[in-house]
Structure 1
Amino acid sequence: MNVMKTHHLPELPTLETEAIALARVHASMVSRLLQLAPNEGYNATPMPDIRLLRSNRPLTRTPVLYEPGIVVIAQGRKRGYLGSKVYIYDAQHYLAVALPLPFSMETDASAAEPLLAVYVRLDAALAADVLLQIDERNGVVPGEPGGMATTRLDLALGETVLRFLAAMRDPLEAALLGPSLVREMYFRVFIGEQGASMRAALCLNGSFGRISRVLRMIHSCYAEALTIEALAKEAMMSVPSFHTHFKAATKTSPLQYIKSTRLHQARLLMARQGMTAAAASAQVGYESASQFSREFKRLFGGTPSEELRRMKRNFAVPEAGPSIYVSSH
């Protein structure tokens, strides 16, 4: 008598087993990051668009300007404040930023349990290529565009980040495997919970996309005398419509956005190049040094010299990376 063989399909991971596996991934990520990020602040990797962040102390609420990117935290917690919303990103949730956004942020960390994170700057060309390939195979999934979101970290993305960190220990692995692992990170994010929202935000069509083009213009021409009329023309909108759509995308006004971009750039010029406050203010488009000092203190809570001392005390300022955007780091 023939006995039919029963073929058992591999069991899909339950939420409990995935949680256990993710906890192991986090523990391994922490171990790798403690080795790869020995310095407080941003530590470089062989991949120019990826930095490793370490903070051995809590940081009070401070203004930041993030480029489009992804922040995956292995240990510790950050809270971002944008408009009326609070974005918590920690070991369970990563942050995805589709537009260059000024907001304020605070960090929970200690010497015993430092904040450890992976910061991925989004490359527009790579993002467009990955999104195109996803759309060709899966079809375009409609979504409401959003400039910033926190999303639950799933096992697939966690394992990709861990493999990336493992590859960064060896120059040959970093050179040969690094680019494909970065691409896989993009893929995991774009097919995740916020994928449709990020796709819609990164697309340059529609009102959100036109505001995105204006933000690029501001970041490349921040030192020039930008007028609201010129920005509205770039967005192909009337001035009232431009104000409405700009505020919806960035949670701030165009003039406040320009001011924040200039001040963050001046801060980095002083920190990286040792410029004086007067030289930095002129470099970013201020005609009055006293106005610059007032607005700098209003944003950062201290004079330029006080802010530089705070920066040096709390973290290392990284070298400028290959980006079209101004950022706070």
Structure 2
Amino acid sequence: MSRPSTCQILHALGPTLTVVGQGRTTARFDDVELEYDASRYAVVAREAAFEEAVTEADSTSPYLAMSLEIPPDAIARMLLALADVSAEPPAEAASALVSDLDTPIEDAVVRLLRAIRDPVERRIVAPLALEELVFRLLRSEAAAMVRGAVRRDRDADKIQAAMRFLRANVERPVSVEEAARHVAMSPSHFAHRFRAVARVSPMRYLKRLRLEHARTLLLSGLRASEAAQRAGYESASHFTRDFKGHFGAAPGDYAERFQKL
């Protein structure tokens, strides 16, 4: 946009991050007016309609901005990974917030934008950049607002405990039934409530844990066969198929690509 604009009605469909690269804008949520430019970022907590007007832009310095809808399941997964340090969101959170754009959040945004331009990096690097961005936001002034975008379930504490148990035992042949016993739930009820809280089945979560652990081992220098065994895979071909399906590249190719970054 190469000149200031009058107010227009915009809709956020869920938790949304906006980062301005150039120019300045003003947004009004109910009775709250927020102004932000390239030194600040804005977070909208939930589905909302708001008025926005670009207040600074011209032909030589057009208004540039990026808005990213943050998947609630990405927030839920990160909250569960940070269960030991997470806090309960406030009962009444504001609709939106503006905060100073610090270097860690800015760097994560830049990595995400760079990754989505390349088809291979879009599959491999972009999900990691998104995870980092969610992590950074959950450690920022916007943490309570981002955390509040995910509904607190009555069984969340037990599911978080089960996830910690699965993560701590990722290198041994632990089963979903054992995790259910660990949190004193029947296997069927555990599977049902696990999916409700984590947005994924316990089997798929355990598989993802094993693959993420194998990725960490690969990037630390282990060979693919060693990483597969340490991550609980008995079949190297099964591991390669699962790894490629999840990360978009075979284990060896994936490790080689990251060594070049």
TM (norm. structure 2) is 0.54
**Residue 73 of structure 2 corresponds to residue 124 of structure 1:** no
1:35 maps to: none
Q: Is the 8 A contact 2:213 2:231 kept in 1?
A: yes
1:225 maps to: 173
1:302 maps to: 249
Q: How much has 1:246 moved relative to structure 2? A: 1.1
**Residue 120 of structure 2 corresponds to residue 154 of structure 1:** no
Q: Is the 8 A contact 1:94 1:153 kept in 2?
A: no
1:50-69 mapped onto 2 (5 Å cutoff): none
Q: Decide which of 21, 39, 62 is 1:25's aligned counterpart.
A: 39
AA at the equivalent of 2:161: R
1:264-279 mapped onto 2 (5 Å cutoff): 264-271=212-219, 273-279=220-226
Change over 3 Å in CA distance of 1:216–1:286 after alignment to 2: same
Change over 3 Å in CA distance of 1:101–1:200 after alignment to 2: closer
Unaligned runs of 5+ in 2: 1-25, 42-63, 106-135
Q: Is the 8 A contact 2:191 2:202 kept in 1?
A: yes
Change over 3 Å in CA distance of 1:239–1:154 after alignment to 2: same
1:192-211 mapped onto 2 (5 Å cutoff): 192=145, 196=148, 200=152, 206-211=154-159
Change over 3 Å in CA distance of 1:195–1:293 after alignment to 2: closer
Q: Is the 8 A contact 2:79 2:147 kept in 1?
A: no
Q: Distance in 2 between matches of 1:77 and 1:15?
A: 16
1:259 maps to: 207
Q: How much has 1:308 moved relative to structure 2? A: 2.3
Q: How much has 1:258 moved relative to structure 2? A: 1.0
Q: Distance in 2 between matches of 1:101 and 1:123?
A: 6
Q: Is the 8 A contact 2:97 2:142 kept in 1?
A: no
Q: Decide which of 175, 195, 200 is 1:247's aligned counterpart.
A: 195
2:28 maps to: 15
AA at the equivalent of 2:91: V
2:185 maps to: 237
Q: How much has 1:263 moved relative to structure 2? A: 1.0
Aligned length: 183
**Residue 82 of structure 2 corresponds to residue 99 of structure 1:** no
Which structure exhibits the higher relative contact order, with contacts defined as CA atoms closer than 8 Å and separated by 6 or more residues? Answer: 1
Query: What are the Cα deviations for residues 124-154 of structure 1, in whole angstroms up to 9, with x where unaligned?
Result: 34x44xx5xx9xxxxx7389xxxxxxx9751
Aligned-partner SS, 1:22: strand
Q: Is the 8 A contact 1:94 1:152 kept in 2?
A: no
Q: Is the 8 A contact 1:223 1:285 kept in 2?
A: yes
Aligned-partner SS, 1:219: helix
2:143 maps to: 189
Q: Distance in 1 between matches of 2:142 and 2:192?
A: 33
1:148 maps to: none
Q: Is the 8 A contact 1:213 1:235 kept in 2?
A: yes
AA at the equivalent of 2:216: L
Change over 3 Å in CA distance of 1:162–1:207 after alignment to 2: same
Aligned-partner SS, 2:233: coil
Unaligned runs of 5+ in 1: 1-12, 28-73, 79-87, 103-120, 135-139, 144-150, 166-181, 317-329
Q: Distance in 1 between matches of 2:259 and 2:160?
A: 33
Aligned-residue identity in percent: 23
Q: How much has 1:164 moved relative to structure 2? A: 8.9
Q: CA RMSD in A?
A: 4.3
Q: Decide which of 264, 268, 280 is 2:227's aligned counterpart.
A: 280
Change over 3 Å in CA distance of 1:300–1:22 after alignment to 2: same
AA at the equivalent of 2:143: V
Change over 3 Å in CA distance of 1:226–1:306 after alignment to 2: same
**Residue 245 of structure 2 corresponds to residue 293 of structure 1:** no
TM (norm. structure 1) is 0.44
Q: How much has 1:26 moved relative to structure 2? A: 3.2
Q: Distance in 2 between matches of 1:262 and 1:25?
A: 39
